[in-house]
Structure 1
Amino acid sequence: MFQTFDAPTRPDAGPPRLAALRAEMARVGVNGFLVPRADAHQGEYVADCDARLAWLTGFTGSAGFCAVLPDRAGLFVDGRYRVQARAQTDALAFDIVPWPDTRLAAWLREAASDDAVIAFDPWLHTVTEIEGLRKDLAGSGITLLEQANLVDAVWPDRPAPPVAAARAQPDALAGRAASAKRADLAAALSEAGHDAAVLTQPDSIAWLLNIRGGDIPRIPIVQAFALLHADGRVDLFTDPAKLNGLAAHLGPEVTVQPAAAFSPALRAQTGTVRLDRDSAPLAVQMDLAQGTATPVAGRDPCLLPKACKTAAELAGADAAHLRDGAAMVEFLCWLDRRTANLPDETLTEIDCVRALEGFRAATGCLRDIAFDTIAGTGPHGAIVHYRVTEGTNRAVAPGDLLLIDSGGQYDDGTTDITRTIAVGDVGSEARAAFTRVLKGMIAVSRARFPDGVAGRDLDALARFPLWLAGQDYDHGTGHGVGSFLSVHEGPQRISRAGAEPLRPGMIVSNEPGYYREDAFGIRIENLVAVEPAPALPGGDPARKMLCLRTLTHVPIDRRALDVGTLDSAETAWLDAYHAETRRRLEGLVSPAARDWLVAATAPLGTGPTRAAPT
């Protein structure tokens, strides 16, 4: 369950592996090969056997890809990962390409020969992705070629695929029986004139069948593919051994077949088959095209109902956040005790990770952490998805900002919270930036908006205080969160690209930040649930309004706050948030943590912002 701190890859391993891949490219007669982070399910997190990008380059971030040519290799990463990519890769072997500022097609047009043949594994790229790349390369002379994976051919000790046992997710926690979900989605398929839908995302399949698994660390899914038929039947393709003991739960309308049977089943399909071109591998469309089925583009039918949580799932989220919040308070109390003794006592990033995981485990309900805990102090906080190792482990020092981003997986919900902690006097520049980040987080928390508004419409609320100071951050403001599923769930998000309208029942994060490379990082994150907004006097009764209910209740460290720059509404929000946090948690924590909590949540302007822990 717990995090390890070994270095996941070594930069010096990259050049010989790159040389081996280039030799294989030459052997099969191609001029390039694309190596994405994704697996065949297009998941953000991948099993060890699918971590091809990390094996080749050393880069372990959750997004990116590499384009390998005979004399150049471009590692494409977005703004979250550029610092990390430079640290984890050999600079002479891999060029760090700023993506999406530089598009792959533009880079290939400049770096590859005019008649280059660029190979790719069609199981690792979506239909939309490859069609878009082919369009962008039109007229260049560059050809894209489907090819068996060349990295696998030169990876001598590639791990075996995962075979973790699956388990049932109780209907009481899911809020609906799997049979009811299948019936509803099947009726919608039939109404649309579709005979079946291909499901390639494991969290969709887990949601549909009310099962959970352990094939991917931190994400409780079963790696599988499925065909949902318009009569409610499901063909499930995975290792049958994972599902031992679940026959009664799945029922007779769910047929389990080995994963190797998926391609033949696609080729044997007839009628109209829905395919989500944004998430399905190109290989799925290629297999369907070999038979008599008519593929039609359409969204994964599980996507939206999975995102709009049931009443039971929302109640579970509340319970999980209450439990998790109490564990966080115990940790923050412990942290204040430890930092009070600096520099006489040493406290490291790994110490913080282990302590926090211990407090979560002490709840007795933790299934796993939701992702590897991010504990970055000082300049490490500026690495957005920093993962501490024994080699990078930094001691916390007076004057540091310590960024802790973490979460838990519980049977009743998934949590994700970030707090940035001031260790002593962090200076006026850091306090000003912290206050701007908090202002943005409060603005999103207070938002009321008409039905139909999308996440992109709220994104600027979080950034506006930073923009006024000429600052910004290179990640979205919020991502969707599953119900004991993926901590990153679509289609909802709060970002410039967040086009999906926000709907009641959706859970999203609210996490603006600011990062000063080689100095400090700041992020403050709560999870919020979308719900109908209460009517206001004078409001238009015919206009449906929505709001965001905060799920996360943990004190926000006011020692890094420039209180005088908050307006009255922001001060009132923070005081009310802290009062509610105290009310919810004070009966769930130890006496020492309760004393800490009371001091940490005292109203602004009533004395010291934080009493020393006892």
Structure 2
Amino acid sequence: MFQTFNVTSSPDQAAPRVTNLRIAMADAGLDGFLIPRADAHQGEYVAPCDERLAWLTGFTGSAGSAAVLTDRAAMFTDGRYTVQVRAQCDTDLFECIDWPATSVAKWLGRTDAQKIGFDPWLHTVAEVRGLREALTKLGKDLVSTNNLVDKIWADRPARPNAPATAHPIELAGKTSQDKFEQINEALRKSGAKAVVLTLPDSISWLLNIRGADIAHNPVVQAFAVLSTAGKLALFAEPSKFDALGPDPRISILPRSAFPAYLRDMEGPVLIDPNTAPHAVLTMLRDGGDVEIIEGDDPCILPKALKTDAEIAGTREAHLRDGAAMVEFLSWLDAQEIETLTEIDIVTALEGFRAATNQLKDISFDTISGAGPNGAIVHYRVTEETNRPLKEGELLLVDSGGQYVDGTTDITRTVALGDVAGEARAAFTAVLQGMIAISTARFPRGVTGGHLDALARAPLWRMGRDYDHGTGHGVGAYLSVHEGPQRISRTSTLSLQEGMILSNEPGYYREGAFGIRTENLIVVRAAQMPEGADARDMLDFETLTYVPIDRSLILADELAPWERDWLDDYHQEVWDKLAPRLSDAAKDWLRQAVAAL
């Protein structure tokens, strides 16, 4: 089973660990210390050695932070984790703060703490700049220090050192040399002579390599500096690259050599203030009067614009994965529901994916939430929370696979027997929102922020909403959560051809049920009717083909065009997947895709 649960921590372990942290704070002359979820690469997913927040607090969500003062402590999480944070943390020890409604600086402003410590490797340039400015206005100091959690974490795991592998050109669609030239052209336009790269997915994309340093994300953890001369200094353990052979463009140096290299650099140097650790800026400045240019990581947008080869591979990966999902749903429908638990669901689904013999890993820890656990947006079942399935409840399963030709991410909510009409009404509204995004046609220049309301409108009419974005970017055998593309009310980036996104509206009723329906989609040029007034438009191609539970749909609530879309979608599911299925799964699918 691929599921991972990383560091050992629980609410009852938090108190002694916080006590030890406060002793370390006193030794350092600090009144507080900040503990983010991030690692030095600022990725969403971190290695066990960087699970400081989970180790200290018990909270295992993928976004959040803590502030520990001498007399109080707080956990900051957004709306996705409102339920989870209270379940995993000692609420007598930690105040649970709704972020961003209340920022870290605002909360600190209500306290007597004066000197707040932070690890400069774990906070970005932009984050430190904003926090320092806010705290200075409050008469407080933000103090750079060594990581105090590392000082008290006696059995901290070793840093990962998985080998790197080459990603085939027939799947990448562009050589590493082509990418070097593309990024160097962007550097020259910015006026920089070199760029500091700190995101593992950017480096893995640039070099056409993949790794296994982070569970479920096939990236190589490293830092890099690319110059306009076409040379790249790569900072990671050299043994990672033994299987790749030498490359005259690349110098491989130990990770420990990165700080000294930064101090010796000559400018102008480009850094991304939103992804580079503050330590990078400090070390560049330590080297002297180096001109620093701030701008976006130049790999991020090109990586998001998938090549034809990457899109073709992703289509195939989704068909393979869709067939595994149908085998799973067919199996589930044949079981005695109340003999199963959430973990049984995870084990079975991962088994069907593994049976393809092409699965490299799951793309994230499978979410299997039955009944009220489905209302925890990023729920991750453990032995302690494992819930038996019950007739009359909903089961939310959010999962995905990593295949060498693509990354998948799909959510289906299924009825466990007869489900009450209230849940069916919410399910139907969520489906209508998903269909609205699937069928959207929009002019070039439109952002994910413009489209987000389409998915929410059916729920808004009911006075309901959800506290997560409608869609995130997805990589091509890379991170399942990839920027900068999003469908979110906060997104200001124009959508462009080749961007892969999720389409996943939802609805969650705490203590009762959760609903989410998710397909992956890719932006493409829209086929427009003939006419002089027709503008240059984009739309979405659906990548995910798995049936949607018709028993949960209030068909009379759907508009005729929504019914037509669903019937057409289900016909495509049949046409694409039936040849790939076992006889039993094919018989089940024939019923599952029947017209409304």
Flag whether TM exceeds 0.5 (same fold). Answer: yes
Kept after mapping to 2: 8 A contact 1:69/1:112: no
1:570 aligned onto 2:588? no
Which residue does 1:555 correspond to in 2? Answer: 547
Alignment of 1:53-72 (within 5 A): 53-72=53-72
Q: SS of the residue aligned with 2:418?
A: coil
Distance in 2 (CA, whole Å) between partners of 1:350 and 1:332 is 15
Distance 1:312-1:328 versus aligned 2 partners, 3 A rule: same
TM-score scaled by length of structure 1: 0.96
Distance 1:183-1:407 versus aligned 2 partners, 3 A rule: same
Could you tell which deviates more after superposition, 358-367 or 239-248? 239-248
Kept after mapping to 1: 8 A contact 2:6/2:48: no
Which residue does 1:476 correspond to in 2? Answer: 469
Q: CA deviation at 1:137?
A: 2.3
Distance 1:134-1:7 versus aligned 2 partners, 3 A rule: closer
Distance 1:390-1:51 versus aligned 2 partners, 3 A rule: same
Number of residues paired by the alignment? Answer: 595
Deviations 1:337-358 (A, max 9, x none): 01xx344xx0111111000000
Kept after mapping to 2: 8 A contact 1:6/1:390: no
Kept after mapping to 2: 8 A contact 1:529/1:550: yes
Kept after mapping to 2: 8 A contact 1:449/1:546: yes
Distance in 1 (CA, whole Å) between partners of 2:325 and 2:169 is 29
Which residue does 1:275 correspond to in 2? Answer: 271
Distance 1:548-1:112 versus aligned 2 partners, 3 A rule: farther
Alignment of 1:70-89 (within 5 A): 70-89=70-89
What is the aligned counterpart of 1:581 among 557, 569, 573? 573
Which residue does 2:185 correspond to in 1? Answer: 187
Q: CA deviation at 1:282?
A: 0.4
Which residue does 2:168 correspond to in 1? Answer: 170
Q: SS of the residue aligned with 1:548?
A: strand
Distance in 2 (CA, whole Å) between partners of 1:586 and 1:80 is 36
Deviations 1:429-475 (A, max 9, x none): 10000000000000000000000111010000000000111100000
Code of the aligned partner of 1:73 = A
Kept after mapping to 2: 8 A contact 1:7/1:390: no
Q: SS of the residue aligned with 1:422?
A: strand
What is the aligned counterpart of 1:415 among 404, 408, 412? 408
Distance in 2 (CA, whole Å) between partners of 1:539 and 1:438 is 34
Distance in 2 (CA, whole Å) between partners of 1:237 and 1:300 is 17
Kept after mapping to 2: 8 A contact 1:377/1:401: yes
1:321 aligned onto 2:318? yes
Q: CA deviation at 1:6?
A: 8.9
Q: CA deviation at 1:300?
A: 0.4
Which residue does 2:355 correspond to in 1? Answer: 362
Which residue does 1:209 correspond to in 2? Answer: 207
Which residue does 1:263 correspond to in 2? Answer: 259
Which residue does 2:298 correspond to in 1? Answer: 301
What is the aligned counterpart of 1:233 among 222, 231, 234? 231
Q: CA deviation at 1:540?
A: 2.6
Distance 1:6-1:303 versus aligned 2 partners, 3 A rule: closer
Q: SS of the residue aligned with 2:79?
A: coil
Could you tell which deviates more after superposition, 324-333 or 6-15? 6-15
Distance 1:226-1:5 versus aligned 2 partners, 3 A rule: closer
Distance 1:57-1:167 versus aligned 2 partners, 3 A rule: same
Could you tell which deviates more after superposition, 377-386 or 126-135? 126-135
Q: SS of the residue aligned with 2:522?
A: strand
Q: CA deviation at 1:392?
A: 1.0
Distance in 1 (CA, whole Å) between partners of 2:351 and 2:579 is 20
Which residue does 1:3 correspond to in 2? Answer: 3
Q: CA deviation at 1:147?
A: 0.6
Which residue does 2:308 correspond to in 1? Answer: 311
Which residue does 2:29 correspond to in 1? Answer: 29
Which residue does 1:284 correspond to in 2? Answer: 280
Q: CA deviation at 1:8?
A: 4.6
Distance in 1 (CA, whole Å) between partners of 2:409 and 2:533 is 35
Q: CA deviation at 1:7?
A: 8.9
Code of the aligned partner of 2:272 = D
Kept after mapping to 1: 8 A contact 2:395/2:415: yes
Deviations 1:295-336 (A, max 9, x none): 110110100000000000000000000000000000000010
Q: CA deviation at 1:366?
A: 0.3
Q: CA deviation at 1:139?
A: 2.4
Distance in 1 (CA, whole Å) between partners of 2:528 and 2:84 is 47
What is the aligned counterpart of 1:508 among 495, 501, 504? 501
Distance in 1 (CA, whole Å) between partners of 2:524 and 2:286 is 45
Alignment of 1:401-440 (within 5 A): 401-440=394-433
Kept after mapping to 1: 8 A contact 2:135/2:142: no
Distance in 1 (CA, whole Å) between partners of 2:119 and 2:533 is 54
Kept after mapping to 2: 8 A contact 1:5/1:388: no
What is the aligned counterpart of 1:142 among 140, 160, 166? 140
Q: CA deviation at 1:188?
A: 2.3
Which residue does 1:101 correspond to in 2? Answer: 101
Kept after mapping to 2: 8 A contact 1:5/1:390: no
Which residue does 1:492 correspond to in 2? Answer: 485
Q: CA deviation at 1:10?
A: 1.2
Which residue does 2:16 correspond to in 1? Answer: 16
Q: CA deviation at 1:5?
A: 6.6
Distance in 2 (CA, whole Å) between partners of 1:520 and 1:112 is 41
Which residue does 2:220 correspond to in 1? Answer: 222
Alignment of 1:460-471 (within 5 A): 460-471=453-464
Code of the aligned partner of 2:446 = V
Which residue does 2:150 correspond to in 1? Answer: 152
Q: SS of the residue aligned with 1:46?
A: coil
Distance in 2 (CA, whole Å) between partners of 1:187 and 1:471 is 47
Distance in 2 (CA, whole Å) between partners of 1:555 and 1:476 is 23
Distance in 1 (CA, whole Å) between partners of 2:33 and 2:310 is 43
Distance 1:87-1:501 versus aligned 2 partners, 3 A rule: same
Code of the aligned partner of 1:525 = E
Q: CA deviation at 1:539?
A: 6.3
Deviations 1:351-404 (A, max 9, x none): 110000000000010000000000000000000011111111111111010000
Code of the aligned partner of 2:581 = V
Q: SS of the residue aligned with 1:586?
A: helix
Distance in 2 (CA, whole Å) between partners of 1:393 and 1:26 is 40
Code of the aligned partner of 1:308 = L
Kept after mapping to 1: 8 A contact 2:438/2:540: yes
Among the aligned pairs, what percent are the same residue? 59
Structure 1: 5+ residue stretches without partners:
605-614
What is the aligned counterpart of 1:121 among 114, 119, 122? 119
Which residue does 1:599 correspond to in 2? Answer: 591
Code of the aligned partner of 1:239 = E
Deviations 1:235-271 (A, max 9, x none): 10001111112124xx210110000111111111102
Code of the aligned partner of 2:386 = N
Which residue does 1:530 correspond to in 2? Answer: 523
Which residue does 1:110 correspond to in 2? Answer: 110
Kept after mapping to 2: 8 A contact 1:197/1:228: yes
Kept after mapping to 2: 8 A contact 1:168/1:210: yes
What is the aligned counterpart of 1:395 among 377, 388, 413? 388
Q: CA deviation at 1:9?
A: 2.2
Distance in 2 (CA, whole Å) between partners of 1:164 and 1:539 is 56
Distance in 1 (CA, whole Å) between partners of 2:472 and 2:491 is 9
Q: SS of the residue aligned with 2:334?
A: helix
Kept after mapping to 2: 8 A contact 1:196/1:274: yes
Kept after mapping to 2: 8 A contact 1:164/1:215: yes
Distance in 1 (CA, whole Å) between partners of 2:462 and 2:137 is 44
Q: SS of the residue aligned with 2:547?
A: coil
Q: SS of the residue aligned with 2:217?
A: coil
Q: SS of the residue aligned with 1:80?
A: helix
Distance in 1 (CA, whole Å) between partners of 2:321 and 2:112 is 51
Kept after mapping to 2: 8 A contact 1:8/1:60: no
TM-score scaled by length of structure 2: 0.98
